[in-house]
């Protein structure tokens, strides 16, 4: 039977009530709950592992790929890592109550802009059960209620995890309904969730491009797009070749399954003769399949011919599209056309080229002589992140705790009239 709109709405109404109770909580109360949740995950790890074993067995029986089963799998170490994540979130500053701006107006009205929780945050995500715990931790710390809609394939795991988190929340005096699994794991449950504008303040889809596009298209609840990363490395005519080589390899191969890994390499024609043979050999040695344009294939005939689809693709694999451009402008045109707006990197010794690249890339992050892999909340020193926004409204780039808040203007007077 399909999930009913009423069930999803009822869940959101309970979340809204819980949000009202969470918003005024002190940091101490929220941190105590997070630490309690961390302890409870460890206490009940046998139960969590048993539920997870059901999910992984079903996934294997359904012929799911080994990579996906791995994402789904929990181990004692992974449970310890989730607990540790909650402890780290507890150690972060509370964003709620921070005064963003403030002044006394000429008429004496005291005015300040203060961070407040968003309210109810919906997260739609795929197989990884650790997202359940990470997202709940960040939302609770920022005073929000969270509605979690994980993958059907992780349902047994998520049910136990959410049960553990809710029990620990209640033990610490927080409302149970601050953390909820959205009823149902069919498509209808997502569909109903996306229509709850007014009850749900924001939806954050985490996962593949298809999931994100579907949510963006259909949701009336405001959406923050995350994570699709078709990232570029541009090697300028003035690049240091060794630096360019190291950054290209790091950006492509250090970890391939992540959104901040590079998918396309663009090389200035003026440095191609020197750089291309070295980088193509190094990529091949690292096991990378190169999809190259004509110049690239003239240097390395084993490269696959590159297509428009390659330029558009976030491989998330040991593949890389490689092309030669005649100028910085042509590189920028290419990036503007094909980029998903996540992270682009330039390798150059020219200050002018770096300034023009930074000013002209329309992406969440731009790196100069640094790997695209740096775009990450923890590496930026923001603590844990709930995702990397590739849209321009509200938050762009890694989203930590402040990005899970809104603001209110507070004016205090003594009978001030207009």
* Nearer residue to its own copies within complex by CB, 91 or 412: 412
* Nearer residue to its own copies within complex by CB, 289 or 407: 407
Asked if 202 interacts with its own copies (CB under 8 A), we say yes
Q: Which of 174, 247, 259, 283 binds its own copies (CB under 8 A)?
A: 247
Sign of the CA dihedral 18, 20, 23, 29?
negative
Closest by CA to 342, choosing from 281, 274, 389, is 389
Q: How far is CA 216 from CA 128, 206, 235, in A?
A: 21, 12, 34
What are the residues facing 389 on neighbouring strands?
A: 226, 397
121: helix, coil or strand?
A: strand
What are the residues facing 103 on neighbouring strands?
A: 111
* Nearer residue to its own copies within complex by CB, 60 or 392: 392
* Nearer residue to its own copies within complex by CB, 55 or 238: 238
Asked if 121 interacts with its own copies (CB under 8 A), we say no
CB atoms inside a 10 Å sphere around CB 243: 15
Q: How far is the CB of 47 from its own copies (least distance, A)?
A: 36
Sign of the CA dihedral 256, 258, 261, 262?
positive
Q: Which stretch binds its own copies (CB under 8 A): 58-66, 124-132, 317-325, 353-361?
A: 353-361
Q: How far is the CB of 407 from its own copies (least distance, A)?
A: 5
Asked if 226 interacts with its own copies (CB under 8 A), we say no
| Interacting residues with its own copies between 64 and 83 (CB under 8 A) | none
Cα angle 46-49-55, degrees, rounded to a multiple of 5: 150
Asked if 105 interacts with its own copies (CB under 8 A), we say yes
Closest by CA to 117, choosing from 141, 135, 101, 149, is 141
Site for its own copies (CB under 8 A): how many residues? Answer: 69
Closest by CA to 170, choosing from 29, 41, 7, 49, is 29
Asked if 368 interacts with its own copies (CB under 8 A), we say yes
Count of CA atoms in the C-beta half-sphere (13 A) of 143: 25
Q: Which stretch binds its own copies (CB under 8 A): 34-42, 173-181, 230-238, 406-414?
A: 406-414
* Nearer residue to its own copies within complex by CB, 164 or 228: 228
Task: Write out the residues near its own copies by the rule CB under 8 A.
Answer: 20, 23-24, 103, 105, 109, 111, 113, 116, 118-119, 197, 201-202, 216-217, 220, 222-224, 240, 242-243, 246-247, 250, 254, 336, 354, 358-371, 373-375, 379-381, 391-394, 396-398, 406-418
């Amino acid at each position: 039977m399909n999930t009913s709109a009423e069930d999803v709405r009822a869940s959101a109404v309970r979340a809204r009530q819980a949000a009202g109770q969470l918003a005024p909580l002190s940091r101490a109360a929220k941190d105590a709950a997070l630490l309690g949740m961390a302890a409870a995950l460890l206490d009940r790890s046998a139960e969590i592992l048993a539920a997870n074993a059901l999910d992984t067995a079903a996934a294997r029986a359904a012929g799911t790929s080994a990579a996906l089963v791995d994402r789904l799998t929990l181990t004692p170490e992974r449970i310890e890592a989730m607990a540790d994540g909650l402890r780290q979130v507890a150690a972060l500053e509370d964003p709620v109550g921070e005064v963003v701006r403030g002044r006394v107006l000429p008429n004496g009205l005291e005015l300040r802009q203060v961070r407040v929780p968003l309210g109810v945050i919906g997260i739609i995500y795929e197989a990884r059960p650790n997202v359940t715990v990470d997202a709940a931790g960040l939302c609770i710390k920022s005073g929000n209620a969270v509605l979690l809609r994980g993958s059907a394939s992780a349902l047994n795991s998520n049910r136990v995890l959410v049960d553990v988190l809710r029990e620990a929340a209640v033990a610490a005096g927080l409302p149970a309904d601050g953390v909820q699994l959205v009823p149902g794991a069919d498509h209808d449950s997502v569909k109903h969730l996306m229509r709850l504008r007014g009850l749900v303040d924001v939806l954050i889809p985490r996962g593949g491009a298809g999931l994100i596009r579907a949510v963006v298209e259909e949701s009336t609840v405001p959406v923050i797009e995350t994570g699709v990363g078709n990232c570029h490395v541009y090697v300028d005519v003035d690049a240091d070749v060794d630096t360019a080589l190291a950054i290209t390899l790091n950006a492509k191969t250090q970890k391939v399954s992540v959104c901040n890994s590079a998918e396309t390499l663009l090389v200035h024609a003026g440095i191609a003769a020197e750089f291309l043979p070295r980088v193509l050999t190094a990529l091949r040695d690292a096991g990378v399949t190169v999809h190259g344009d004509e110049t690239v294939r003239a240097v390395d005939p084993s490269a696959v011919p590159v297509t428009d689809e390659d330029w558009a693709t976030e491989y998330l694999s040991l593949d890389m599209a490689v092309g030669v451009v005649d100028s910085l402008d042509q590189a920028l045109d290419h990036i503007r056309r094909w980029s998903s707006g996540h992270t682009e990197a330039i390798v150059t010794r020219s200050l002018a080229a770096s300034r023009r690249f930074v000013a002209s890339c329309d992406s969440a992050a731009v790196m100069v002589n640094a790997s695209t892999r740096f775009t990450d909340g923890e590496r930026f020193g923001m603590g844990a992140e709930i995702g990397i926004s590739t849209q321009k409204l509200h938050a762009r780039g890694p989203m930590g705790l402040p990005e899970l808040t809104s603001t209110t203007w507070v004016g205090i007077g003594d009978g001030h009239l207009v």
